[in-house]
Chain A
């Protein structure tokens, strides 16, 4: 088992295409870390640099206090599971799993013993004499896992190993992977673009976009204290709602104008580092929004019209449009701009729209007028230019 440190790690393709920018990150011995981010964010490239499959343009990969930059892949003692499994087609499952031990010249009996142990751990004992083409996707995935875990490697790298499986099998294997890590206690890095996978598997999660590491923390902290609008928007489903707003400080109260209405945050200094008045971005998660029928009185309520209901059990997603057209809500294109760093202007959505999560037993009527309230204690505030959170860092 081993600890891994990435020190200013970077990757440049060709003359000036920077795929990974100065990533600094530490993975403790025995930790399960997930790299998550949209496609092309550089997460797999980083994994491949750790494995020794990709040349390191600058910075260092340190495994167990030893700089690995110039150590070939086969000498790094790293095991990896590939997205397409990469099983050796001419070998049976047994030979595939035992191959790494064979290369290390272990005695035949020892290899056989460990292959059987590994196969029993992964429930594939009866598949050992089959070749990869005779196995289903899930079975191949298990054999690929077996090929990795049979070794006592320093670290285990999993490059989107669940992405080719159907939803049910994926959730089953996610659980098994989690149990496997708990049992083996080895250092694991799992790469995925699926935030649910990241949140359920990772002890710590590193969120990447366009080659930058945005935040590296526990799933809970990422959800509750995102450090940027990109992380806030990426983590959580449905995604967080964002509005343009103007803030004014009055003693211990921060007054936030969203459209024609004002929301007051008391003792704002306890939660936010805001030193100036002016434009900012407000975020709120769909599960934190309160709603009521038009007739009900809600303090600081916003009038809105129910546009669309996505019926799920036991909770449904409701999309409504604010009556106040002065409210400007951010579109996914705007969030994309923030994923690349900063945004100067927002295109916004066509209508000011908000999505919230409600119990399916208590759904509003479609096209009905409702009142929506945004609880001040649940609001997130972000710098309108840089997308950085104004929230004080709270560890969860």
Chain B
């Protein structure tokens, strides 16, 4: 006889099988969520209350958000951030997919060597290159331009993006690509008509990783942008910190506003992202 009941009890009881994991996860989430909640609470406090250490504001002031938006001209920073991040992510994904396709499916001399160079590029932090990059951008006339920032974000995003796509493409059987070539596809058609639709998980993964990194990027933007009209959100908000006084509640509200697009992008791509991770998009 089959014992169905026993199986179902086991399934139900699964969550209690690993209490240690649940306890650790709980504490980690507290550590991560506390600063977010603290900033959120600060964003609802009045100017006087900001230095009060109590967590909850006496009377929440949602109008802080409107005030921050208008006073800090967040619209312009927002536009710049979307332009720079959106463009850099788009181009990086496009170029990285093409490069990863070539690295995995088109054998050519020096492929391995070139790929090793790319991997080395991942280890170098952008902050270490700030001064030479500044000189370079000045030389090319791209200092204090959003285009210059886009170019740098693409350059720093490409290695990791190629690494992720390469790992994902390697798992796709060569025969599918060969079949497409025999069906009359050019290499670009193979990539966009055959590989791209099956790589949604990897595309979502790379998009989220790059969006997060570029949206929040600070050092390069700080060094390369001089005029407020070109500032991205992190620099724009940072510029509101005065030497002697600051409206911390408004800066907190602006920070929360700045974080919203990241949440939206993540929520929009969440299911694809999770599938991508499960399919090994993060394994190189």
CB pair A86–B175 under 8 Å, yes or no, is yes
Interface residues of B (CB under 8 A from A): 173, 175-176, 178-186, 189, 194, 197-198
CB pair A78–B185 under 8 Å, yes or no, is no
Interchain CB contact (< 8 A) of B176 among A80, A83, A88:
A88
Q: With A86-B173, A86-B175, A90-B198 known to touch, is A80 a contact of B182 (CB < 8 Å)?
A: yes
In the complex, the chain A residue whose C-beta lies closest to that of B107 is A55
CB pair B184–A74 under 8 Å, yes or no, is yes
Q: With A88-B194, A103-B189 known to touch, is A147 a contact of B175 (CB < 8 Å)?
A: no
CB pair B184–A53 under 8 Å, yes or no, is no
Residues in A with CB closer than 8 Å to B179 are 80, 82, 86-88, 147
Residues in B with CB closer than 8 Å to A78 are 182
Tally inter-chain residue pairs, CB-CB below 8 A.
57
Nearest chain A CB to B196 CB, angstrom units: 9
Determine the distance from Cα of A103 to Cα of B182 in the docked complex, in whole angstroms.
Answer: 10
How many chain A residues have a CB neighbour from B under 8 Å?
23
Contact with B along A100-135 (1 / 0, CB 8 A): 100110000000000000000000000000000000
CB pair A147–B183 under 8 Å, yes or no, is yes
Determine the distance from Cα of A80 to Cα of B177 in the docked complex, in whole angstroms.
Answer: 12
Nearest chain A CB to B24 CB, angstrom units: 37
A206 at the interface (CB under 8 A from B): no
CB pair B173–A73 under 8 Å, yes or no, is no
Determine the distance from Cα of A72 to Cα of B184 in the docked complex, in whole angstroms.
Answer: 10
Determine the distance from Cα of A89 to Cα of B179 in the docked complex, in whole angstroms.
Answer: 12
Nearest chain B CB to A140 CB, angstrom units: 13
Residues in B with CB closer than 8 Å to A100 are 182-184
A223 at the interface (CB under 8 A from B): no
CB pair B182–A74 under 8 Å, yes or no, is yes
Determine the distance from Cα of A76 to Cα of B182 in the docked complex, in whole angstroms.
Answer: 8
A79 at the interface (CB under 8 A from B): yes
Interchain CB contact (< 8 A) of A86 among B178, B184, B189:
B178
Interchain CB contact (< 8 A) of A104 among B180, B184, B198:
B184
Determine the distance from Cα of A236 to Cα of B160 in the docked complex, in whole angstroms.
Answer: 56
A248 at the interface (CB under 8 A from B): no
Nearest chain B CB to A226 CB, angstrom units: 34
CB pair A86–B185 under 8 Å, yes or no, is no
In the complex, the chain B residue whose C-beta lies closest to that of A75 is B184
Determine the distance from Cα of A78 to Cα of B189 in the docked complex, in whole angstroms.
Answer: 18
Nearest chain B CB to A135 CB, angstrom units: 15
Residues in A with CB closer than 8 Å to B197 are 90
Choose among B173, B184, B186 the residue with the greatest number of A CB atoms under 10 Å from its CB.
B184
Interchain CB contact (< 8 A) of A73 among B178, B189, B198:
B178
Nearest chain A CB to B102 CB, angstrom units: 16
A335 at the interface (CB under 8 A from B): no
Nearest chain B CB to A155 CB, angstrom units: 11
In the complex, the chain B residue whose C-beta lies closest to that of A72 is B181
Q: With A84-B175, A88-B176 known to touch, is A73 a contact of B182 (CB < 8 Å)?
A: yes
Choose among A76, A90, A104 the residue with the greatest number of B CB atoms under 10 Å from its CB.
A90
Residues in A with CB closer than 8 Å to B175 are 82-84, 86
Choose among B178, B185, B186, B197 the residue with the greatest number of A CB atoms under 10 Å from its CB.
B178
Q: With A88-B194, A89-B198, A90-B197 known to touch, is A103 a contact of B185 (CB < 8 Å)?
A: yes
CB pair B194–A73 under 8 Å, yes or no, is no
A346 at the interface (CB under 8 A from B): no
Q: With A88-B194, A90-B197 known to touch, is A53 a contact of B178 (CB < 8 Å)?
A: yes
Nearest chain A CB to B189 CB, angstrom units: 7
Determine the distance from Cα of A100 to Cα of B194 in the docked complex, in whole angstroms.
Answer: 12
CB pair A88–B182 under 8 Å, yes or no, is no
Nearest chain A CB to B12 CB, angstrom units: 30
**Docked complex: A47-106 residues within 8 A CB-CB of B:** 51-53, 72-74, 76, 78-80, 82-84, 86-90, 99-100, 103-104
